Structure 1
Amino acid sequence: MKELVIPQLFVSICLLVNGFVSCQRPAVVNLGAIFTFDSVIGKAAKPAMEAAVSDINNDTRILNGTKLNLLMDDVNCSVFLGSVGAFQLVEEEVVAIIGPQSSGIAHMISAIANGLQVPLISYAATDPTLSALQFPFFIRTTQSDSYQMAAMADLVDFFRWREVIAIVVDDEYGRNGIGALGEELNKKRAKISYKLFLSNQLDESEVMDKLNKSKLLGPRVYVVHVNPDPRLRIFTVARKLQMMTDNYTWLATDWLSATLDSFPPTKKASLGFLQGVVGLRQHTPESSQKRAFMSRWKGMQRKGSASSELNTYGLQAYDTVWIVAYAIERFLDEHKNITFSFNSKLVDMKTSGLQIEKLKVFTGGNDLLDIILQTNFTGLSGQVQFNQDQNVFSGGYDVINIDQVSIRTVGYWSNVSGLSLSPQDARKGEQNSYSRVDQRLQNITWPGGKTERPRGWIIAADERPLRIGVPNRASFVEFVTEAHGSHRIEGYCIDVFLKARELVPYDVPYMFEPFGDGLSNPRYDDLVQMVAADVFDAAVGDIAILTNRTKMVDFSQPYASTGLVIVAPIRNSKSSAWVFLQPFTVEMWCAIAASFVMIAVVIWILEHRVNDEFRGPPKKQLVTMLMFSFSTLFKTNQETTKSSLGRLVMVVWLFVLMVITASYTASLSSILTVQQLSSPITDLFL
């Protein structure tokens, strides 16, 4: 069955002129908005959206006479009411829905938006899983928690903390947000040790029970990721439990900054118990447009149209309405009319009472969605553009620190440069890899008024002892060994460990666990892998620092000289009358003797015809040859060479004698002066 297309009279008007159909721009275009009116975000978003609609309808440069009609529905933080409200809005044939502010409601009504092809544009739902391909009509004009948790992980890594406790609201927003934090911390070789899940109501007795139990745990760095709470119940309970002291560290996502920014100045003066809390705030650059709107907001407060202070989500709500208005303007220019059609599957359902079959599909939904995603303009929250995940490009975060009753900005974060002292334009660069040494923040005041970086952990009351693996070797037991007849571990490495432990200003319970049977040397690579696999918490022993091992675990500073060495005893060589023969081997001595004879023969062949000194009886010539060759060693030759070839041979022979003499002298000196070492070891077991 084909879909029935029924143009609506109040949406668009088609006239028949001279045989041609001419479609005029509609007089009114409906725009829906779903959110909770009486909430921290809703109190700022409602007047901001109303102001945006008023500005658009009064601006003759946009929509060209078409009126934008904003239909708002209060869902009161309920997923059920949000779904009902979504159906009520689409019955009014809205071209887009702004909201919701809740990630849980966004998951539900995104399916409705997909089915009816109505773009859903949220300025406050930050759940990173909403960027999945299953929600093609969902667009986000706020920053995803995937960016925020990357900023939080960089903050944890900047202060060299390795374990945190997450306090999370138990819904899609909390679970998926803290899941993203866990992934980002893993990249920094840190982790979430414990997750304290709370209900949406944030019941104080529940909060007190969870926080009280967490005092028995080791980590002292808390990351709080809940919904905006004007009563600040988590920190109120923490103060009652004396957890806002210098023994604790509190980090908060941007829910806290949105809450505090909504407070009037008189209420901010009573926030001294929040001293030392560090949080994130979505960064919005300063501009004349933003300053003018904030001044206008003061007037709206005096008139009663705005009941709270302006926060970041209010700015984004205002920009979201303008994004939709610009998109509708371009859509009308290109397509001229707005039409809806019945869905054949809904018509065939034959439902009674619900009248679902009357719901219509926005036939231009895909085109309007594409136009929205091409948005590029400067609003109150800064430059607005969308990435391939249909999220607004991250503008980064301000790092704030609550110092007594003031809120200080101590730095900025962007996915381009990490933590820095000045804002970075994250939209103009690609994400780079940056190291911890490049990160900068201003001085931070921590709970208790201290400025020194908190340690971030303690030895908990019920903490198990550290499991320390020690190699149980068969050789070199002087380094580490298990004493015979007892389970006591001793050795040089153990002594170093115990001395280092004495320098720690707190008690560290531990227990040694031998690795190996003591009959053979264990593989140290296996020991290191067991530390990396959390079978052992640490290892103590003569473990060499190798490249492949440094990729798995951290090593202490070496307390012995680097390199591979063998401990060998000194060999005392006894004096001998034949020690002068030791520099050369027997083969070398024979080669030298043969060289003397060969030189004697060569010189005799070259000289006896022209030199009378090499003539005479055979016996005399033989003696002359040998004496001439050996006496050259002492430079006492009585015979002189007369032939040119004989002199050339003598030059070469004298050079060879010089090398032999120098080598002999050096070797003999070494034998007589340097201590000799000997060892039966022929292989190394690391």
Structure 2
Amino acid sequence: MSMLKFALRNVAADDGTHVMGTNTIGVITDNKSRNGKEEIVAIKMALEDFYQYSNQNFGLDLQIRNSHGDPLQAALAARDLIDTKHVEAIIGPQTWEETTLVADICSQNMTPVLSLADATPNWSTLKWPFLVQASPNHFKQMKAVAAIVHSFGWYDVNIVYDDRDSSSTRMLSHLYRALSKACVQISNLLPIPLISSSLSQELEKLREGHCKVFVVNLSLSLAINLFETAKKLNMMEKGYVWIITDPFTSLVHSLKASTISSMQGIIGVKSYFPEIGVQYEDFYLRFRRKFSSENPQEFNNEPGIFAARAYDAAWTLALAMTQTDNKGGQILLDNILLNNFTGLSGKIQFTDQKLDPSNTFQITNVIGKGYKEVGFWSDGLGFSNNIGQNATTFNSSMKELGQVLWPGRPWGNPRGWTPPTSDKPLRIGVPVLATLKQFINVIQDQTENTSTFQGFTIDLFRSTMELLPYHLPYKFYPFNDTYDNLVKQVYLKNFDAVIDVTIISYRYQYAEFTQPYTDPGVVMVVPLKSKLAHRTWLFMKPYTKTMWALILAMIIYNGFILWMLERRHNPEIRGSMLNQTGSMAWLALTPLIKLDGDRLHSNLSKMAMVVWLFVVLIITQTYTANLASMLTAERLEPTIDDIDQLRNSNIKVGYGTGSFLKNYVQKVLQFHPANMRHFGALEEYAEALRRKEIGAAFLEVPAAKIFLAKYCKEFIQAGPLYKIGGFGFAFPRGSPFLPSVNKALLDLFETGRVRELENKMLASEQCEDTELDGEAGSLSPNSFWVLFILTTGTSTIALLVYVFRRSYANHEERTIWRLPMMIIEQCGHAKRRISRKVSDVTESPMTSPTTHATPTQV
């Protein structure tokens, strides 16, 4: 930064006179506040230093006004400075409420105002074009707070804030977003200020709660009152965590030892500025002397971030005034915004009339009579022990920075919450309107005003609590309203947990859930109808298609064998091809109708027939028995196969009363509201299905299991399973108990305890389900393959023996009859020769024409 020499002719007090021919600067601050006192001293020092290092030949009149922390007083002071003192610019005030009124007056008079408030909204410079934010936005410190909370695994926090200060309210919104990203829940909000007695009562309520982590965003006076009250209530002891933010953290150094004693173990997050270098060391020494002389009643005279920012703001304004001959107005504003140098508080460079926001914050720990530096947090980098060029390692967890002294000086880090005691157990909400009495059954005794809780979910919750690594007292409370309102009670802190609720996405805005302890999903239940009604081909059902094909093949094969064996002995099976084919079929089918073999002549055919008769006897008797079983046993199937059939035929469907199923059936499954009916108890579904008021009912899987166990002979599940969340336990968002409860549920599943409880629940409703599918009762060749091999083998052996014997007989016959055939053949030759000779004699002249000799005579 190039230094300009500037002549400061007069520094006026509150009632100082205006010096003619000089530039006039106004300051509005709360003279009684610690940061106001630091700002006044720092501004005076800045102008003195500017005078020392500059050679400008014009004076500067400094007009200081006390706002008393009141926005109206600040506005009146601004009007006085502009109208009476004709100031070219104003530095201050400290709060956003004061800034809004001052900025409005200054913009109307084209007077730049350098605000030292914590932060201004983005729209502020559009509304007030002469407003310049001379202090950086430090909303990012809320990210540092969330990172600290997340580092130690704390799931929820209590927040204490000043509801009078709008900047504190905006800070709260940033904190909420930062905590949400870190998966941390806000347990309670405590607005301050409150009267002393009221503050004690509110803190007492927070002390009774389970959450022991507090984030405090208050002004100095309010914070001191808070911690003194908390000390009296023993809330600064072991187990508690207190995290403070700016502006309070940056003023801890100014507190007295007696005040510090009530704040031991507090973690602080404050804006960082480099307290190093020759310039700062010189400023530090001179500030302490000047501050002590002007404020002798103050306990500590060290400068803080407020002094550094006021010093830089005054220097910024002085530089801008040296660069223009015009006093005030738009030119002065433009010169202010052109400044670019490194001041005591850091980089001074404006973007959209605002200083760039702070990205680095210091983590402190209150110990003894002061505080110690724990480390630093940088946006986008994390925690580190050093800053700037010395920072070599960054960590996502604050635990890496070293040991922290917590309230009560405990060993190790606080858990952040305390388990409930027997005097104040967890309040567990139980739905009275539960339609599944097997899951939840609340028996209320109005005379004694007591309730008895029974059912699967109650047993499961008790078993889960027994497996927790710590004792967790609890008590059941009945809730007589809808499930949605039941879950909201967790959000409203009326219950510490609720049980037996369906896990649905929109309910996550009110609570967090354990893993489901039931099968998740929705199914369609429809009436049953007989599978055997109007079956034309019922007689084919006792055997499978393969079995029938094999029987036909065996009939053809055995018929062919018998025909081969009997055709030489039985003239009835001879004749045309058609006659022989019919005879072959008759031989094969005869055993199926009449168990005898009287018409057989061959011993081989009788042997094959005996085995075939044995196989046929077994096949026919088995067929008769299986067909009789099918006719006497009830065979059932769904009346409706799929959901499309329901929609296309406009059949009415049922769903549960007071549940999310109404929206699911209407919007997801796309049923028209006119075709939807709601019911309560499972018996109502059964009656409606019997009377055909509805064609199907949509039930969650747990309800469907109980319904089908009770009515398994009347109704059946049809269609696919529609995936949704199952039943679970609901806890407040960020509940410290949730991880332990989830692990305990897993242990119950792995040990089989959940299955035991479910079987116990369904035992009283269990009945035999008669549903059979397709060919489940049909017999296949697997049951008869030995018989088929026996008959096939016997028939094949008989055929082979027959072929062998025929071949052998033909060979012997040819041998025996060969000689007679030769004789006959020779006789034939002789006969033909004699005939030729007789013919020759009869034709000669010596033969009488009237005499003829016959061949026989010859």
Smaller-chain TM-score bracket: 0.5 to 0.7
User: Which residue type is aligned with residue 214 of structure 2?
Assistant: Y
The 8 Å contact of residues 182 and 192 in structure 1, kept in 2 or not, is answered as no
Match in the other structure for 1:578: none
Which residue, out of 717, 734, 740, partners 1:682?
A: 717
Show the 5 A alignment for 1:480-519.
480-482=440-442, 488-502=452-466, 503=468, 504-513=470-479
**Pick aligned residue for 1:338 from 326, 330, 341:** 326
> Against the structure 1 CA distance between its residues 283 and 598, is the aligned structure 2 distance closer, same or farther, given a 3 Å change threshold?
farther
**Alpha-carbon distance change, 338 to 304 in structure 1, aligned in 2, over 3 angstroms:** same
**Equivalent residue of 2:40, what SS?**
helix
Pair 1:386-2:350 in alignment: yes
CA, structure 1 residues 46+592, in 2 after alignment: closer, same or farther (shift >3 Å)? farther
Q: Matched residues in 2 for 1:223 and 1:31: separation? A: 38
- Does the C-alpha gap of structure 1 residues 105 and 312 become closer, same or farther in structure 2, counting only changes over 3 Å? same
Q: Out of 506, 510, 514, which is 1:556 matched to?
A: 514
Give SS of 2:363's match: strand
Are the aligned partners of 1:252 and 1:277 in contact in 2 as well (CA < 8 Å)? yes
Secondary structure, in 3 states, of the residue corresponding to 1:682? Answer: strand
Tell me the SS of whatever aligns to 1:259: helix
Question: SS state of the match for residue 271, structure 1?
Answer: helix
Q: 2 CA distance for matches of 1:227 and 1:67?
A: 36
Which amino acid in the other structure matches residue 471 of structure 2? Answer: P
CA 1:285/1:530 → structure 2, altered by over 3 Å: closer, same or farther?
A: same
The answer for the alignment partner of 1:660 in structure 2 is none
Q: Does 1:277 align with 2:271?
A: no
1:420 matches 2:380:
no
Of 411, 436, 447, the residue aligned with 2:407 is 447
> CA offset at residue 147 of structure 1?
3.5
In the TM superposition, what is the alpha-carbon distance from 1:276 to its structure 2 partner?
A: 1.4
Gaps of 5+ in 1: 1-25, 340-361, 426-433, 517-523, 567-581, 600-616, 627-677
The correspondence of residues 552-631 of structure 1 with structure 2, limited to 5 A, is 553-557=511-515, 586-590=544-548
What is the distance in 2 between the residues matched to 1:592 and 1:413? 84
Give the match's secondary structure for 1:254.
Answer: coil
Q: Shift in Å at residue 130 of structure 1?
A: 8.6
Structure 1 CA distance for aligned equivalents of residues 342 and 451 of structure 2: 72
Q: CA deviation at 1:74?
A: 3.0
Q: Matched residue of 1:244: which SS?
A: coil
Tell me the amino acid that sits aligned with residue 164 of structure 1.
Answer: N
User: 1:290 & 1:598 partners in 2: Cα distance?
Assistant: 116
What is the alpha-carbon distance in structure 1 between the residues aligned to residue 400 and residue 290 of structure 2? 38
Residue type matched to 1:338 in 2?
Answer: N
Provide TM-score, normalisation by structure 1.
Answer: 0.62
Counterpart in 1 of 2:38? Answer: 44
Instruction: Find the counterpart in structure 1 of residue 241 from structure 2.
Output: 249
Residue 182 of structure 2 corresponds to residue 190 of structure 1: no
Q: CA–CA distance in 2 between the matches of 1:484 and 1:299?
A: 73
Given the superposition, is the C-alpha separation of residues 484 and 255 from structure 1 closer, same or farther in structure 2, using an over 3 Å criterion? closer
Deviation per CA, 1:110-132: give whole Å up to 9, x if none.
22112112121123444658947
Question: C-alpha distance in 2, partners of 1:454/1:96?
Answer: 52
SS of the residue corresponding to residue 237 of structure 1 reads: helix
Instruction: Name the stretch that deviates more: 284-293 or 588-597.
Output: 588-597
Kindly provide the CA deviation profile for residues 385-436 of structure 1, in whole angstroms up to 9, marking residues without a partner as x. Answer: 334473532233222221334523334344434x5235788xxxxxxxx998
| Counterpart position of 2:340 | 376
Distance (whole Å) between structure 2 residues aligned to residue 228 and residue 370 of structure 1: 35
Bigger Cα displacement from structure 2, 138-147 vs 462-471: 462-471
**How much is the aligned-residue C-alpha RMSD, in angstroms?**
5.1
1:122 aligns with 2:122: no
Q: Percent identity?
A: 23
In structure 2, the CA distance between the partners of 1:423 and 1:322, relative to structure 1 (3 Å rule), is farther
Structure 2: 5+ residue stretches without partners:
1-19, 389-393, 525-539, 558-575, 586-708, 727-858
Write the letter of the residue equivalent to 1:555: F
Which SS does the other structure have where 1:399 is aligned? strand
Q: 2 CA distance for matches of 1:528 and 1:204?
A: 35
- Maintained 8 Å contact 1:73/1:85: yes
Give the Cα separation in 2 of the matches to 1:369 and 1:123.
16
Q: Is 1:34–1:98's contact at 8 Å kept on the other side of the alignment?
A: yes
Among residues 29, 43, 48, which one is paired with 1:54 in the alignment? 48
Q: 1:168 to 1:234 in 2, by over 3 A?
A: same
Provide the C-alpha distance between the structure 2 equivalents of 1:546 and 1:86, rounded to a whole number of angstroms. Answer: 56
1:463 CA drift (Å): 7.7
SS at match of 1:400: strand
Match of 1:162 in 2: 156
Q: Retained in 1: the 8 A contact 2:114–2:134? A: yes
Structure 1 residues 551 and 250: alpha-carbon distance in aligned structure 2, compared to 1, 3 A threshold:
closer
Please give the alpha-carbon distance, in whole angstroms, between the structure 2 residues aligned to 1:78 and 1:465: 46
Equivalent residue in structure 1 for 2:99, among 89, 93, 106: 106
Map of 1:17-32 to 2, 5 A cutoff?
28-32=22-26
Matched to 2:75, the amino acid is S
Q: Comparing both structures, which one devotes a greater share of its residues to helix?
A: 2
Letter in 2 for 1:276: G
Alignment of 1:287-302 (within 5 A): 287-289=276-278, 291-297=280-286, 300-301=289-290
| 1:447 counterpart SS class | coil
Deviations 1:524-549 (A, max 9, x none): 89976886788975442385x67777
Cα pair 2:385 2:401 within 8 Å, conserved: no
**Pairing partner for 1:324 from 307, 317, 322:** 317
Tell me the distance in 2 between the aligned counterparts of 1:594 and 1:284. Answer: 100
Q: Determine the C-alpha separation between the residues in 2 that align with 1:169 and 1:129.
A: 21
Q: Is the 8 A contact 2:425 2:474 kept in 1?
A: no
1:365-397 deviation line (CA, Å, top 9, x unaligned): 3x4334433443221111233344735322332
Where 2:513 maps in the other structure, the secondary structure is: coil
Q: Which moved more, 1:50-59 or 1:180-189?
A: 180-189
- The residue identity in structure 2 corresponding to 1:114 is S
Write the distance in 2 (CA, Å) between the matches of 1:284 and 1:194. Answer: 31
Specify whether residues 497 and 322 from structure 1 end up closer, same or farther in structure 2 by C-alpha distance, changes over 3 A only: same
| Aligned mates of 1:395, 1:197 — CA distance in 2 | 28
Q: Do the aligned partners of residues 98 and 204 (structure 1) sit closer, same or farther apart at CA in structure 2, a change above 3 Å counting? A: same
Aligned match of 1:429: none
The residue aligned with 2:763 is none
Is 1:142 the counterpart of 2:135? The answer is yes
Q: Does 1:313 align with 2:274?
A: no
Check the 8 A contact 2:465/2:472 in 1, yes or no: no
Distance in 1, matches of 2:77 and 2:491, equals 52
Q: Does 1:87 align with 2:87?
A: no
Structure 2 CA distance, aligned partners of 1:45 and 1:164?
A: 32
Q: Any conservation in 2 of the 1:48–1:317 contact (CA below 8 Å)? A: yes
Q: Number of residues paired by the alignment? A: 527
Given the superposition, is the C-alpha separation of residues 397 and 482 from structure 1 closer, same or farther in structure 2, using an over 3 Å criterion? Answer: same
Q: What does 1:404-415 correspond to in 2, within 5 Å?
A: 404-415=368-379
Question: Are the structure 2 counterparts of residues 67 and 498 from structure 1 closer, same or farther at C-alpha, using a change threshold of 3 Å?
Answer: same
